[in-house]
Structure formats: structure tokens, C-alpha cells
Chain A
Amino acid sequence: MSPTITTPSEANGNVSAATARAAASAAASAEAAGPQPVTMAKALNTALADAMRADSSVLVFGEDVGMLGGVFRITDGLTATFGEQRCFDTPLAESGIVGMAVGMAINGMRPVIEMQFDAFAYPAFEQIVSHVAKMHNRTRGMVKLPMVIRIPYGGGIGGVEHHCDSSESYYAHTAGLKVYTPATVADGYRMLREAIDSDDPVVFMEPKKMYWTKDSVDLGELRRLHERPAEGTTAGRTSEGRAAVARPGTDATLIAYGPSVPTALAAAEAAALEGRSLEVIDVRTIVPFDDETVCESVRKTGRAVVIAEAHGFASVSSEIVARVQERCFHYLAAPIRRVTGFDVPYPAPKLEKYYLPGVDRILDAVDDLQWEN
């Protein structure tokens, strides 16, 4: 459904439309050069802008997402380009933001809302658990809620309390929510566009310490692939439920997602220097979980370590261990190990280095996997 919206460009002359055209043409020429160093923040911002351009029912709102462009600048320029009716600031009320998005989704819109920080999303918990997750089921599929709740999450930025939580387990535990978390710049673009296109509500967990991570990415090509997938290439293939082999290896599997993927890759790099070949799996979508890719890797290597920043107790990492153990028991040479945050509230900035899973802790866990020689 793509309702017609009276945009400011129609209502008040063509200022915004002209700005948009100019920006689009500038972007097209900038992107014609092929792969460029691009930050995760830019990839997410571009995905939002492209989705808004492709579908007038896509709206962006939250706290400080308008003129400021979001505290992490992920919504930078969207108000200027698309007008205050398409990207706007709300009163400071997270339950209000989510609840209003539910109503908008009921009435034909595709809201993409921002929770400013992980721990600031908790006032919206009732709306998310009791309505976002349940509306489709409650109405026997008659009401779809195509909405995306973007949440910057995780630590590693020296943030103060309430700014560094890993809250993914709450959402993953709630039946009816899809939970995505990108770990590469390209996935930032791809997965956000797919989340916006999804007819299911998606909690989109953005690893905030990776906002400034740069990869060489061709955003123009990613856009083209998303909007016009070429035959025989990526057509029909979605990110949902597909983990990625972030680094191939043969001796053990490191299973990670979001902010823990670069840590796992660094550990694999260090292990390689010691002659041990570690495969790294990037889970990408926690819900739905890609049992196939994860188990294929573990059956091949026979050993696994799950890495996550969140507390280990009753968490996504517990779930991954349980699933892999149930499916790969006879292939395992050692119990699956976990390297996670300790079961303590997220620490103050000077203590976070002791809390966060690091390369050494991962390598220690790998060393414990009952090697025969």
C-alpha cells in the first residue's frame, strides 16, 4: 500500500523537490566511482533516504531525528530532503513513539522509529511486547504492522550508564518480533532496507560502536541490487534468516553478532598467527535464526565458541549454545563455550574493558576446547 502524501514540495512550491533532485544527482555522480570508504552511519542514513524515496508511506520519527539528524546523525538531512511530515521530532516519550507508530502502521504507513539509546527504549516495552509483537497474531493476520524500531545498542564507546545496554535478548525472547543486527557497513544498508520492506515488525539493533566503522562499499550498487535485483544473482534472496560466514576456517567456529563480530574476526586473525584456523559466523538476524549455516560450520569444525556483549545468563548466547548442542552433539569434540558480558549491570566507562568480551578472553576459550595435541 502506498498512500499519497501531500509533501511540502507539493504544498509549498518545489524547494524540497529541487533539493532532493540536486542531492540525488550529486549522490549518483559521487557513487558512480564504485566502491568508496563508507561508514555504517552513512550506509544506514542512505538506506533510510532511499526507502523514503522509494515509498511515500515510509516515515521516520523519534527524539532529535529532525533538524539535528539524530544524536548519531543516522537521520541526517532527512527532514530537509523529505519535509517535516516525513521525518520529524516527537515529544520525549518512547511509549508514545512506539504506540503512535503502531497506529500509523495500522493505517497504511511504514514507520521507521528511533529509540535514542538501548536503555531509553524500556518505557516502550509494553507497547513492543503487548502490541507490536502480538497485533498480527491477535487479528489472525488481518492487521500487519510493517514497522522498524531502530535501537543503537551495546557498549565500547565509554558511555555512561543507560547508554550501553545489550538489550537484544528481551526482544528475541518475545514471540512475534524479528530481530536484525548488522555487523558490516554493506549489511547496514541491505538489512535496514529489507527491514523496512518487511511486513513484520523488526527490532533493528544497531551496534553503536560500529557507526564510525568504514568499509569500502558501493552504495549505488547496493541500491540497485535492492531495488532491481538482477536475474540469477540476488533476486529473491533476503538477509532474513541468513547468517554469513564472515571468515572461513577449519579448526573451530566463533559464532557472533553485531558488535561482537569484529572482535571475533580480530580473535581469528590472532589465532591464525598461532596456526589455528577459526571460522567466524555473523548471525545477522537473531530472529529468525539461521540454524543451517551455524550448524553446518560447527559440524565441520567440531568446536564452537559463542561471543556476545550481553550478559550470558538467559540470553541469546544461551539460546545459540542450546540450539547448536541439540543439533550437533555427535559432531562436537568439546563442550561449546561462551564468552559474554558478566552478569553485572553495564559498568562505568573505566571498567568496561574488563566487562566486554575481548580477543584474549576469546582465545582462552578457544584454548579450552579440548584440543588433542
Chain B
Amino acid sequence: MTISADHTAPDTTSTATPGNALTEAVKKFGITVEDYMLPARHQIQMVDPDGRLKAGSEQGTQPGHEYPVPGDKELLAAYEQLVVGRRVNDQNSALVRQGRMAVYPSSHGQEACQVAAALCLSDGDWMFPTYRDAVAVMTRGVDPVQVMTIFRGDWHGGYDPLKYKVGIQCTPLTTQLLHAVGVAHAAKLRGEDTVVLAMCGDGATSEGDFHEALNFAAVFHLPVIFFVQNNKYAISVPLAHQSVAPSLAHKAVGYGMAGERVDGNDVVALLAVLDRAVKLAREGSGPLLVEANTYRMQAHTNADDDTRYRESAEVAEWRAKDPVNRMRVYLTERGLLDDDGEARIAAHAEAVAAQLREGLGEDVPVDPQELFRHVFALQTPQLKEQSAMLADELARDAAATDSKEAGK
């Protein structure tokens, strides 16, 4: 048919206006729009570095920024994943040193962020991780060996993003935030209640796609949680060179969304803040920005030398805030964790590490023809030709090797 120019005006009542939803959020919490969007004056911290639960009045909460302490069962499950995540990080770094993995950007020290990012989501939700978020992907339920394929060197990704609802770990900074926005937008158009968690680091907030993604999510009023792990360094460049905003969470208000900052080494606070963010987003609050204050304990990758740009005293200071130890103390003192429990969790972590050693230790055969197989859904004649050329080249190499062997 032909669409004529003299069409009737579109029915604007069909689109939810973000203003209304914001008003509802404000009504819900009884605070002003600014107080809803601006992060609380202090970061949310529930368990201090010594593993002690802070008094409610000292957790950084304020009206409209209130967070219940997550249940014991959730916390114990999170601790188990913390221990597994730490073991995986250190196992992978060892595999790199042994030359069995090409590279591994470790999240050692950031495991609380990794675990909380995965545990706050439901099965139908989506996650868009970065290259440093392997532990989050694994915690989401993806097979550990499949997660590490990207670093093993035989393909760019090892798991099915559609099956697990996890994007392939993204190397270009913040480009995946827009994919998260698109996934959320498609779900919203179909009337599904999917929430999407999109991850990036502090340095990445300087990228243009960070801005475009937050703005699109806000304008289209989409259920996306932007989860920024502020680990203080972009390879060697400290946060002060990326932004002079009061905090990265403050960027939210500029887009018309709510922001919050949380102690990124306190998995209790992380779960509390992310659980509520997911709940709000699912109920139609629009996007939210959560900044986790954490620290990259190791170099950017094995190819990096962090002694060139930071002091060991700074690293030591953060070692005292370790997320795994903190939870061990907290759960033990609350009587939720005993020696048997510790032993069981340690055995779980060791089993995953063994799985990685086995899976990444074996020399996976590569298929040269796979170079051509997945470029297009419908292959081009040009790629068919090039595929035949490589097959012929390999056949001739094999024949030459055979005749050499025969001639010996």
C-alpha cells in the first residue's frame, strides 16, 4: 500500500511519559525528584571491612534511599560464589602464567561486584558484561570453561548468549551498554518484564556510548541497571583523569534517572542496592545507575606493570577491605558459617578450578574452515571460493608432509 502524506496524527497516549513514572517514584518515597535521582550523601555500606554489621543509622541510607539487609540464605549463597570467584580469578591468572591461556583480566578484589551483579537478576533477565566480568558471567550459570574460551584463543566467545541471556563479554568500552538498551527496549515493546543489567568500569564512563546509552534508556524509559564498577584505574589512568564529577553516580541526575553509590567490596550492601534497583526497574521506574566503589587489586592484565603508576601502600590499604574475608567474618560471627560449611565451599571452589585446569589445559583442535562458516547467515560466493582455496592449500601441505614422511 501507499502511505499518504495526509495521515492522521499518531495517538500519543500510547507511550508512557517518563514524567509520570518519576512522579510515582517520588510519591512512593515521599521525597523530591532531585532527592530521588541524586545518590545518598554517603555510599551505602552495611558490613564494614572488619566484617561487622553497621548500625542502621550508619549505613548511609536516608529517606527514599533505604535498603533492607538481604536474607541469610541469599548471603550464604553469595559468599559461596565469592569464594568460587576468587579461586577462579587466581586459577586463571596461574593458567596465563603457565601459557595455557592467552590473557586474563582478573577481577581479584572485585568479586563482590561480580557475584551481586549476577545474583540480583532473575532467569528471564539479561546481563551485558565486559572483558573483566568473567566471574559474573560464571555466577550467572554459564559453564566456566565456556566463559574462558574468549581468553583461551580458539574463538571470540564460548557460550550461547541467547541461552544464558548474557551478552558476549565486550572488549570495546561501553558499546555493550547500547545493546543492553536495545534488548530492554525490545522486551518492553513486547510487554515482557525483563530487566537488563549493563556493566562497565570507571574509565568507560568517559566514552560517548556511555552517554548515549544512559540517555536512550532514560528517554525510552527502559528497565536497565547501569552498574559501574569504579575500580579506580583504566589500565594506568586514575579516575581523576576521567571525571571530576562529585561521584560517577551523580551522572544519573543529568539523564533524569536515579543514581546510588555503594561499597563495592561489601556484598551485603551490593545485593541490597542491586536487588532494589532491579525491583524498581521491573516495576517501571525506568533506568538506574549504581556505582560500586571497589579496587582492581592486580594489574590490568598479565601484560601490564602496575608498579609504574601506583604505590604498593595504596594496594595494601585496599587489601584490608577485601570482600571475601569480610563476608567470612560476618557470616561466621552470625553463626551461619562453620568449619564444615567452609570446607564444603572450598571443595566447590576447588572443583571449579580443577574443571578449568582440565578444560583449558587440553589443546583444543581448531578447524580452519570455521574461519568462513559464521561470517554470514547466508554465505557469499566469495567466501566459498576462499574457503576452497584454504582447503586446497591445507590438502597440498598434508600431501607434501606425507611424501616427506614416506621418503624418510
Residues of chain A touching chain B, judged by Cβ–Cβ distance below 8 Å, are 3-6, 8, 11-12, 15-16, 19, 23-24, 26-28, 30-31, 42, 45-46, 49-50, 53, 59, 66-67, 69, 73, 76-81, 83-85, 90-91, 93, 95-96, 98-109, 111, 123, 126-127, 130-131, 134-144, 175-176, 178, 198-200, 219, 240-241, 287-289, 291-292
Chain A residues near B244: list those with CB within 8 A: none
Chain B residues near A123: list those with CB within 8 A: 208
3 tightest CB-CB pairs across the interface, nearest first?
A: A103-B182, A99-B178, A77-B3
Enumerate 14 A-B pairs (CB-CB under 8 Å) in ascending A order. A6-B191, A8-B10, A11-B14, A31-B1, A46-B3, A49-B3, A84-B10, A85-B15, A95-B208, A107-B126, A126-B172, A130-B175, A139-B157, A140-B155
Q: Compute how far the CA of A12 lies from the CA of B185 in the bound complex, rounded to whole angstroms.
A: 20
Chain B residues near A140: list those with CB within 8 A: 155, 157, 370, 373-374
Residue of B1, B9, B184, B213 near A99 (CB, 8 A) is B213
Shortest beta-carbon distance from A117 to chain B in Å: 19
Is the CB–CB distance between B209 and A5 below 8 Å?
A: no
Q: A42-B2, A81-B7, A139-B161 are in contact. Are A103 and B208 (CB under 8 A)?
A: no
Is the CB–CB distance between A23 and B2 below 8 Å?
A: yes
Is the CB–CB distance between B3 and A90 below 8 Å?
A: no
Residue of A78, A240, A292 near B3 (CB, 8 A) is A78
- Judge if B303 is at the interface, Cβ distance under 8 Å: no
Q: Compute how far the CA of A239 lies from the CA of B156 in the bound complex, rounded to whole angstroms.
A: 32
Is the CB–CB distance between A80 and B215 below 8 Å?
A: no
Chain A residues near B175: list those with CB within 8 A: 99, 126-127, 130-131
Shortest beta-carbon distance from B274 to chain A in Å: 21
- Judge if B388 is at the interface, Cβ distance under 8 Å: no
Q: Compute how far the CA of A106 lies from the CA of B14 in the bound complex, rounded to whole angstroms.
A: 25
Is the CB–CB distance between B182 and A104 below 8 Å?
A: yes
Chain A residues near B381: list those with CB within 8 A: 241, 288, 291-292
Is the CB–CB distance between B179 and A99 below 8 Å?
A: yes
Q: Compute how far the CA of A4 lies from the CA of B190 in the bound complex, rounded to whole angstroms.
A: 6
Shortest beta-carbon distance from B11 to chain A in Å: 5
Give the number of chain B interface residues (Cβ < 8 Å). 58
Interface residues of B in 167-208 (CB under 8 A from A): 167-168, 172, 175, 177-187, 189-191, 208
Chain A residues near B178: list those with CB within 8 A: 95-96, 98-100, 102-103, 127
Q: Compute how far the CA of A66 lies from the CA of B12 in the bound complex, rounded to whole angstroms.
A: 12
Chain A residues near B9: list those with CB within 8 A: 67, 80
Residue of A12, A19, A73, A79 near B13 (CB, 8 A) is A12
Chain B residues near A24: list those with CB within 8 A: 1
Chain B residues near A42: list those with CB within 8 A: 2
Is the CB–CB distance between A288 and B382 below 8 Å?
A: yes
Question: Smallest CB-CB separation from A79: which chain B residue?
Answer: B10
Shortest beta-carbon distance from A373 to chain B in Å: 38
Chain B residues near A142: list those with CB within 8 A: 160-163
Chain A residues near B185: list those with CB within 8 A: 100, 103-104
Q: A5-B190, A46-B2, A99-B181 are in contact. Are A15 and B161 (CB under 8 A)?
A: no
Shortest beta-carbon distance from A77 to chain B in Å: 3
Residue of A23, A102, A198 near B4 (CB, 8 A) is A23
Besides A11-B14, A106-B162, 11 more A-B contacts (Cβ < 8 Å) are A12-B11, A19-B8, A76-B7, A80-B10, A85-B189, A96-B178, A96-B209, A99-B213, A126-B175, A143-B161, A288-B382
Q: Compute how far the CA of A45 lies from the CA of B375 in the bound complex, rounded to whole angstroms.
A: 30
Q: Compute how far the CA of A15 lies from the CA of B155 in the bound complex, rounded to whole angstroms.
A: 51
- Judge if B377 is at the interface, Cβ distance under 8 Å: yes
Q: Compute how far the CA of A279 lies from the CA of B212 in the bound complex, rounded to whole angstroms.
A: 48
Chain A residues near B8: list those with CB within 8 A: 15, 19, 80
Residue of B1, B167, B380 near A49 (CB, 8 A) is B1
Chain B residues near A103: list those with CB within 8 A: 178-186
Shortest beta-carbon distance from A37 to chain B in Å: 13
- Judge if B345 is at the interface, Cβ distance under 8 Å: no
Q: Compute how far the CA of A138 lies from the CA of B2 in the bound complex, rounded to whole angstroms.
A: 40
Chain B residues near A143: list those with CB within 8 A: 161-162, 168
Residue of B177, B187, B378, B380 near A198 (CB, 8 A) is B378
Shortest beta-carbon distance from A320 to chain B in Å: 13
- Judge if B219 is at the interface, Cβ distance under 8 Å: yes
Chain A residues near B11: list those with CB within 8 A: 8, 12, 15-16, 83-84
Is the CB–CB distance between B212 and A138 below 8 Å?
A: no
Question: Smallest CB-CB separation from B158: which chain A residue?
Answer: A140
Mark contacts of B362-383 with chain A using CB atoms, 8 A cut-off: 1 yes-contact digit, 0 otherwise: 0000000010011111101110
- Judge if B316 is at the interface, Cβ distance under 8 Å: no
- Judge if B216 is at the interface, Cβ distance under 8 Å: yes
Is the CB–CB distance between B14 and A8 below 8 Å?
A: yes
- Judge if B55 is at the interface, Cβ distance under 8 Å: no
- Judge if B313 is at the interface, Cβ distance under 8 Å: no
Shortest beta-carbon distance from A313 to chain B in Å: 22
Chain A residues near B240: list those with CB within 8 A: none
Q: Compute how far the CA of A99 lies from the CA of B176 in the bound complex, rounded to whole angstroms.
A: 8
Is the CB–CB distance between A176 and B376 below 8 Å?
A: yes
- Judge if B406 is at the interface, Cβ distance under 8 Å: no
Q: A99-B213, A100-B178, A288-B382 are in contact. Are A85 and B14 (CB under 8 A)?
A: yes
Is the CB–CB distance between B215 and A96 below 8 Å?
A: yes
Is the CB–CB distance between A96 and B216 below 8 Å?
A: yes
Is the CB–CB distance between B1 and A91 below 8 Å?
A: no
Is the CB–CB distance between A26 and B1 below 8 Å?
A: yes
Chain A residues near B245: list those with CB within 8 A: none
Question: Smallest CB-CB separation from A130: which chain B residue?
Answer: B172
Q: Compute how far the CA of A27 lies from the CA of B7 in the bound complex, rounded to whole angstroms.
A: 13
Which residue, of B179, B213, B375, has the highest number of chain A Cβ atoms within 10 A? B179
Is the CB–CB distance between A26 and B182 below 8 Å?
A: no
Q: Compute how far the CA of A11 lies from the CA of B13 in the bound complex, rounded to whole angstroms.
A: 10
Interface residues of B in 261-278 (CB under 8 A from A): none
Q: Compute how far the CA of A355 lies from the CA of B167 in the bound complex, rounded to whole angstroms.
A: 45
Question: Smallest CB-CB separation from B9: which chain A residue?
Answer: A80
Is the CB–CB distance between B212 and A93 below 8 Å?
A: yes
Is the CB–CB distance between A3 and B190 below 8 Å?
A: yes
Q: Compute how far the CA of A77 lies from the CA of B36 in the bound complex, rounded to whole angstroms.
A: 39
Shortest beta-carbon distance from B70 to chain A in Å: 29
Shortest beta-carbon distance from B214 to chain A in Å: 10
Shortest beta-carbon distance from A189 to chain B in Å: 12
